[in-house]
Structure formats: C-alpha cells, structure tokens
Amino acid sequence: MNIDKKTIQEMAFWVRVRIPDDEAEVMAKDFTETLTWMGERLKSPELQNVPPMVSPFDEPILIRKDEVTDGDKREAVLKNAPEGATDEFFAVPKMVE
Amino acid sequence: MTDLTNLTLSETVKGLENKEFSSVEVTKAYLDKMEQLRRLNAYITETPDVALKMAADSDKRRAEGKAGSLEGVPMAIKDMFCTKGIRTTAASRILSNFVPEFEATTTQRLWNAGAVCLGKTNTDEFAMGSSTITSYFGVTHNPHDENRVPGGSSGGSAAAVAAHMCAGATGTETGGSIRHPASFCQITGFKPTYGRCSRYGVIAYASSLDEPGVLGRSVEDCARMIQPMMGFDEKDSTSSHREVPDMLAALDKNIKGMKLGIPKQYTELVPDNWEPALEFLKSEGVEFVDIDMPHTEEAGMVYYVISQGEATTNLARYDGARYGVREEGKTLDEMYMNTRMEGFGQEVRNRMILGTFFTSAKGYNDYFVPAQKMRTLIKQDFDKAFEKCDVLFSPAVPIKPFTIEEAKHGAAKGRFNDNYLMPSCLTGVPAGCANNGLQVIGRMWDDATVLKVLQVVEMSK
C-alpha cells in the first residue's frame, strides 16, 4: 500500500485540517511503511473465518422507543454558541449569495 | 490538627463519619495543598468556590443524618468528564471555553454519594497520549521527580492523587490511560469491565475502548470510589444490566488457593520488585500458572487502527458551529478548516488524518476489519487463559517514568510503554495497577476479584 503526499492532503481535507507540504511528505513516507508492515500481519491466514470484534460489550444493544423524552432546552443548547448567535439561532458564515 | 491531606480516602470517610473533622475542613486542607503545589500543573481548572459550597452542603446533610458513601470526600475529576456549570476542555484549545449544560452519569453518581469536586485535572489532549505533553494547558510534572512526566493520559489525576492534592480522582482508559499514570506516580488505578461505568458525558475518544475508572492511594480507596459509579445507565447503549457486586466486601485479603496466571509475553522486562512480589504472593498461598498469549504483540497495531478510526468519527463534531472555540472564515468550509486547524493540537490532527484512511472503503476492508478480526484472536487469548487461572498477574509498565524532554522526543512510543496494558483495553476486561506498579487483570464482569487480589499485591511493596 503506497500513500503519497497528495493522498495525505486529501485525507486532511476530509477531516477539515491543513497539513504543510513538508509534513505531509514525512507523514506519507512513515504511513506507507506502517501500512506495509501492518498489511503483511493482517493478511495472516489465521484471520480467515474469524468474526470481527466490534465491541467488548456482550449484551443486546439497548434500543429505546422513538419517543421524545427530552427537549425544549433552547437556552441550554445555545449557551455555548460562538459569537453571533441570537436567542433563537446559531450563526454561521453566509452560504448562499 | 494533623494534615488532613495525609489521610487516605478511606481514612477520610471514617474521620468524617466519626465527626473528627468536617467536610469543609478537609476540603480547605486540599485547596491549600492545591495552591502550594500549583507548579505541578495537575489541574486545568480549580473550583474552590464550588468545592466549599459542596462541602458545606455535605456537612449539612451529615448533620441531618443523610450521609452517602463518599459524603464530604474531596475528589478531582479528569477533564474528560462533562461537569455541569464547570468548564470541561479535554485539554484542547477547541473546548477551552466550553461549559457543559449537563453532567456525566458517573460524576453525577459521585456527587449523589456526597463527594466534593475540587476541580478538573490535566490530560493529554482528548486523552491521546501517555505523558500529558499534548495538553493545550501544558505538561503535568511527576510529584516524585518534577523533571519527569506523570504518565497518561490521566496524568493530572495521578499527580493530584500522588501529591495529596485530592483524596481520589476519576480517570479514563482507552489504551491504558489509568494504569499507566498510576504506575508512573506510584498510586493505584482501576478500570472496571467495559459496560460497568456509563460513558454518558465522557468526551469520546474511541467509543469501543473508552472506559471510565478511578485513581487512588490504595485499592480500598479505589473500591470506595468505583462502587457508586458503576451500574446500568439508560443514557449509554453499551451499559450493562448486570448486578454490581459489593467491591469493599470482596476485599478480605484471603487469596489462598487462587490461581494467578503469568503471561510469558508480559514478563519480557520486569521491574526490581517483581521477584519479591512473586515470593510474597506464594507465601499468601497462591498458585502460579504459566500462560501463553500469542497475539499480545499484535495489540499495538490493532489499537492503532481501531482507535484512530473511531477517533476520526468522534472528533467530527467539533466544527465551531454550535459550541467550542470558533475561528472565523469567509465561507462555512473555511470556518471549519480554520477552527479545526487552530483548535486541535498536532497529535490530534495527525491521528484524525490517518484515521480517515482506516474509515475509507479501501482502508476499512484491508485494515480496519482485519484489525477487528485480530481483536477477536486477542480476546480468545484471554478466554483460553481464564480457563487455566482466576486472574492474570504482571507488571503494568516495566519502565521508569521518562523525562519531559524525552517525552517530547517520542519516548512514549517505546514498546514497553503500554504493551502490557493495551490487550486488556481491546478486550474490555477489568484491570488494576497497584501502587507498586504491578497489575491484575480479571475475567469479564469479575471486577471484585481483581480488586481483591490487587489489595494483596499492594501489601507486597
């Protein structure tokens, strides 16, 4: 598995952070090495027919009824809103002209 | 009066019960200690006003005969637990102004039991690390040698407990973050079985691994703190309905005839007190069983893939739109980008970038799912081991705390830093580190036996 600088920068964009060219270069090289090393171990024939372990939790996942049990807390929800929010709304940069 | 901060949490409980001192008195003693030792940087946020109010309320409840199991006991809370009305940062700039409007289930249960909140302790940013050097609020110093790190990520909690800046503290483990700093600070740390303690209100790092727990100056202290924190919570979909055992009652110091398994992969490097501890435990009547856990070596890799994949997903919510620090931009995308670039430290950003690969179609099929399969094999190692023994016994972290300078140059990446800790995080079994750096790992849901054995281990010094 070969990861180049461009792929690192794409992935950085997906998580909405920037990474300088020189750092992306180093990361690409290191990550390629790590993936190559891991790839060999994760291709172990031992893993065939082994189920993936998603969580240590062994009870049925709790599913509750789709009923409103909470809410009407506009003030609390907006309390930590960044600057620009009103009593009713969050504010973000304009998205349409 | 003697210095009240010299008492263990258990002695504090008894002293308060016998009305030898009040909660306000012991709380003031801890607040003084926090001020004297502020240079250690154990706390991100100190809450003296909240503490004194809670202590006064506690004294009132006791006078009315309504004392809880931790009534009046001053505690510190790792800054990964959301506390209503008290700033909660995850040691990140992005949450440096965040004041939750809700309370984590586990901390609420501590307050319900009567505990007093002294403040919020330092951690690696979003609990990603084992030294506290990635904290936006600066590194915590190890109280035993201030040039060294306290371990992590619950390093602030461990330092606060070791320096008597609190009677006990909460912590969280994802890859060893309670036992690691407990070992480095020579205190006791315990993480119960995954599902015992609700994760509601605990800032998420990697959801299938994150476990709340406690740090104290003895096993008995840890048992007292963890008891009220455990138990079913409808706000966490992976919270267990199983009945919670009485942890204190399990501490009978009688381990005669028990089988302690020693995994050969966990004794490649051992500290000086290892052999004397084996001799001591033998004199207590235990039997040692050799255990082979062949997939131990793979735990680091599995942890790397799963924790980064899950972290990327969990950290997507910090966008500057609804809470936390925002850095402005001309467009929405630019605002997201500026906020996340300035809000997260480099270690967190790097983990998110790589985590993106493991959650992409290619990375998921070729790495994430195979890593989950390997996780199954690691779990099977534990299942097979527990057919032969009652608990596993080994060193927790067989190396000495590294210096702050060494930590900045990647000392935490050394293999003996966490390879005895990670497998038990991946499998969710209960585990504790005694204040002499030796650990006990138990079967799923057998939390009480871990503490029972750990208490005797702690007697071996």
> Is residue B17 in some structural domain?
yes
> Is residue A28 in some structural domain?
yes
Predicted local distance difference test score (pLDDT) of residue B414: 78
> Is residue A63 in some structural domain?
no
Give percent of chain B with pLDDT exceeding 70. 100
pLDDT at B404 over 70: yes
Q: What is the mean pLDDT of chain B?
A: 97
Strand partners, B83: B86
Range of the domain at A27: 20-44
Q: How far apart are alpha carbons B120 and A27 in whole angstroms?
A: 34
Predicted local distance difference test score (pLDDT) of residue A70: 85
Note the pLDDT tens digit of each residue in B182-234.
Answer: 999 999 999 999 999 999 999 999 999 999 999 999 999 999 999 999 999 99
Q: Please state the domain count of chain B.
A: 1
Give the max Cα distance, chain A: 59
Range of the domain at B35: 4-250
> Is residue B255 in some structural domain?
no
> Is residue A94 in some structural domain?
no
Please give the average per-residue pLDDT across B395-406, as a whole number: 96
The one-letter amino acid code at B447 reads D
Write out chain B residues lying below 8 Å of A47, CB-based: 370, 373-374, 377
> Is residue B319 in some structural domain?
no
- B177 flagged as catalytic: yes
Predicted local distance difference test score (pLDDT) of residue A83: 87
Q: What is the pTM of this model?
A: 0.97
> Is residue A96 in some structural domain?
no
Q: What is the mean pLDDT of chain A?
A: 92
> Is residue A31 in some structural domain?
yes
Locate B279 and state its tokens.
């001799």
Locate B202 and state its tokens.
């605990």
> Is residue B437 in some structural domain?
no
pLDDT at B454 over 70: yes
What is the β-pairing status of strands B74-78 and B116-121?
A: parallel
Q: How far apart are alpha carbons B178 and B158 in whole angstroms?
A: 8
Predicted local distance difference test score (pLDDT) of residue B147: 98
Q: Do A81 and B237 touch (CB under 8 A)?
A: no
pLDDT band at B48 (very low <50, low <70, confident <90, very high): very high
Q: Spell out, as residue ranges, where chain A has pLDDT lower than 50.
A: none
Q: How far apart are alpha carbons B5 and B23 in whole angstroms?
A: 12
Flag the least confident range among B238-242, B286-290, B413-417: B413-417
Which secondary-structure segment (H or E) carries B333? Answer: helix B332-343
Locate B201 and state its tokens.
């209100």
Instruction: Considering only the beta carbons, identify the residue of A3, A15, A93 that sits closest to B331.
Output: A93
Please give the average per-residue pLDDT across B85-106, as a whole number: 98
Locate B174 and state its tokens.
């994802």
* ∠ CA B224-B389-B268, rounded to 5°: 90
Q: Do B370 and A46 touch (CB under 8 A)?
A: no
**Nearest chain A Cα to B95, which residue?**
A80
Q: Please state the domain count of chain A.
A: 1
pLDDT at B446 over 90: yes
Write out chain A residues lying below 8 Å of B422, CB-based: none
pLDDT band at B97 (very low <50, low <70, confident <90, very high): very high
- B198 flagged as catalytic: no
Q: Do A47 and B344 touch (CB under 8 A)?
A: no
Other Cβ atoms closer than 10 A to B36? 12
- B92 flagged as catalytic: no
| Angle (deg, nearest 10), helices B23-36 and B48-63 | 160
CATH code of the domain containing B125: 3.90.1300.10
pLDDT at B412 over 90: no
3-class state of residue B273 by DSSP: coil
Q: Do A12 and B240 touch (CB under 8 A)?
A: no
Catalytic residue among B33, B78, B120, B452: B78
Q: How far apart are alpha carbons B375 and A54 in whole angstroms?
A: 9
Note the pLDDT tens digit of each residue in B250-280.
Answer: 999 999 999 999 999 999 999 999 999 999 9
Note the pLDDT tens digit of each residue in B114-162.
Answer: 999 999 999 999 999 999 999 999 999 999 999 999 999 999 999 999 9
Catalytic residue among B58, B131, B157, B177: B177
Q: How far apart are alpha carbons B112 and B306 in whole angstroms?
A: 35
Locate B182 and state its tokens.
């407990």
Give the residue from B124, B142, B131 showing the smallest Cα distance to B186. Answer: B142
A29 to chain B, closest Cα gap in Å: 12
Predicted local distance difference test score (pLDDT) of residue B1: 61
> Is residue A60 in some structural domain?
no
Give the residue from B295, B303, B240, B237 showing the smallest Cα distance to B266. Answer: B295
> Is residue A58 in some structural domain?
no
